[in-house]
Amino acid sequence: MRRSARRTGCLLGVAILGLSLLTALFFAAYTPEPPPLRVAAWMPTSWDAGRARASWLANRHLIDELSPVWYQVGAAGDGSLVRYSGACDAALITEAHDSGALVLPLVNNAYGGVFDPAAVSALLHDPARRAAHVTVLVDEVLACGYDGIDIDYESLGGMADREAFSLFVEELAVALHAQGRLLAVTVHPKTAEPGNWAGPQAQDWARIGAAADRLRVMAYGYHWEGSGPGPIAPLFWMEDVARFARRQVEPRKVYLGLHLYALDWSAAGTTARTWEGVQPLTAAPGAERQWVDQQGWRQTVAEPRLTYTADGVQHEVWYADGTSIAVRLSMARRYGLGGVVFWRLGGEDPACWTTLSN
C-alpha cells in the first residue's frame, strides 16, 4: 500500500509539474493584442481650408478627435485669446459630435507663421496673467461647446520657462477637469530630458503628462526647412521618441504626431508641399522615386524620397504616403500608445485613410 501511494503521489506531482510548465509556456508565448489607437487630426481653417474640410468630410468616420487651428495667444502677453477665421464654427462642431469625434481646438503662439515665445513667456511668469489666460481658455471651451482644448505653445524660452509652463498646464488642467473637459498639450519631440534646444527644454514631459489628458508629441522635423535634405521623421528616431515618451508618461496618454507633408530641398531654398503637390513632380525630367528603408548601419528610415530636375536645378523631396503611415501606425500600436495625431488634414495621400480603415 505504501509503495502504491508513493507511486500515485509521484505521478500526481509529475502531472502538476507538467501542467505548470504548459501554463508557463502558454503565457510566455501569448502576446496580448495592442489596444486600438485613437486617431486625432489637426485641421487648418484660415489657410488651405477647402482641402482640409474636404478631407475631414471624407474621412470623419475614422477620426476620433478633431483639432481645428482656431486660436492664438494675444501678442501683448496679457493672457488674451485671438480667434482665427472660422473659430467656434457651430456647424463643424455639430458634424464632429454627430460623427462621435471630440473637438479639441488648437491654440498656438504663431504670428505671421513664426512661433514667438515672448507673449507666452510674459503671461507664464505673471500669476495674474496666467490665471487670466486659464479663465479665458475655459470660458471659450464652455461657450463654444468644445470637449477641451489643445495647447501648442512652441519655441519657448528653454529652462527659464520650464517651471512656469508646467504650473500653467497644471492650473489649466484643474480648471478644465472641474468642468468635465479635456486638456491636450502638444510638445516638441525629444529622446531625453531636458532636450537639446530651448523649445523642448521648456516642456517637462513628466509633469505635463501627469496633469494633461493627452501628450501630443510632434514626432517629425528630424530634417526641416532650414536643414539639409533628409527624412522628415525616420522610423529609428521616432521609436526613440516613443520609447522615451512612454517612460515619462502613461502610454495611453501619448499621441504620436505623424506628418502628412513633404519638403522639397534645392539650391534655391526649401518648399513645403503636400502629397498632392508632390505627385506632378514625378513627371519632371529625371524624376526618380525611391522607398528608403535604411540609411547607415541599422537605421530604419521607412520614408519615400523623390529626386527630380526643374529648370536645370536638382531637387530632393522627402514626404509621407500611405506606406510610410502604415509602418508608423504599426509602430505606435507596438509601443501601446494611446493614439496618433496627423499634421495635417488636406492634400494627403488617400491611402493613409485606407490603411486606417483596414
For the cut 90, the answer to whether the pLDDT of residue 297 exceeds it is no
Q: Is residue 266 part of a domain?
A: no
DSSP secondary structure code for residue 34 in this structure: P
Report percent pLDDT > 90 for the chain.
Answer: 87
- Please give the grid coordinates belonging to residue 116: 514667438
* Per-residue model confidence as pLDDT tens digits over 15-49: 444 555 555 555 445 556 767 899 999 999 999 99
Taking residues 323-351, report their average pLDDT: 98
pLDDT of residue 316: 98
Q: Is residue 200 part of a domain?
A: yes
Q: Is residue 27 part of a domain?
A: no
DSSP secondary structure code for residue 41 in this structure: E
Q: Work out the number of other CB atoms within 10 angstroms of the CB of residue 312.
A: 6
Q: What is the mean pLDDT of the chain?
A: 92
- Cα separation of 114 and 112, whole Å? 6
Domain that holds residue 332: 33-260+320-357
For the cut 70, the answer to whether the pLDDT of residue 53 exceeds it is yes
Q: Is residue 281 part of a domain?
A: no
* Per-residue model confidence as pLDDT tens digits over 154-191: 999 999 999 999 999 999 999 999 999 999 999 999 99
**In 3D, which of 68, 81, 197, 59 has the Cα closest to residue 139?**
81
For the cut 50, the answer to whether the pLDDT of residue 2 exceeds it is no
Rounded to a whole number of angstroms, the CA Rg of the chain reads 24
The tally of domains found in the chain comes to 1
For the cut 50, the answer to whether the pLDDT of residue 309 exceeds it is yes
Residue 170: half-sphere exposure toward Cβ, Cα within 13 Å: 13
Beta strand residue intervals within the chain, DSSP E: 38-43, 65-73, 81-83, 102-103, 106-108, 110-111, 114-115, 148-152, 182-187, 214-217, 254-259, 261-266, 269-274, 288-294, 300-310, 313-319, 339-343
Categorise residue 270: left if φ over 0, alpha if ψ from -120 to 50, beta otherwise: beta
Query: In this predicted model, which residue has the larger pLDDT, 295 or 46?
Result: 46
Taking residues 337-345, report their average pLDDT: 98
Query: In this predicted model, which residue has the larger pLDDT, 21 or 243?
Result: 243
Q: Is residue 23 part of a domain?
A: no
pLDDT of residue 15: 46
Q: What is the CATH number of the domain that holds 164?
A: 3.20.20.80
> What's the whole-model pTM score?
0.90
- Please give the grid coordinates belonging to residue 216: 501630443
Q: Is residue 280 part of a domain?
A: no
Greatest alpha-carbon pair distance for the chain in Å reads: 100
- Cα separation of 163 and 103, whole Å? 28
Q: Is residue 147 part of a domain?
A: yes
Q: Is residue 120 part of a domain?
A: yes
Q: Which own/partner contact pairs does 58-61 have at CB distance under 8 Å and 24+ positions apart?
A: 58/353, 59/345, 59/353, 59/356, 60/95, 60/96, 60/99, 60/101, 61/99
* Per-residue model confidence as pLDDT tens digits over 186-239: 999 999 999 999 999 999 999 999 999 999 999 999 999 999 999 999 999 999
pLDDT of residue 21: 53
**In 3D, which of 109, 111, 44, 126 has the Cα closest to residue 73?**
109
Residue 60: φ, ψ to 5°: -65, -25
Taking residues 116-140, report their average pLDDT: 97
- Cα separation of 195 and 185, whole Å? 17
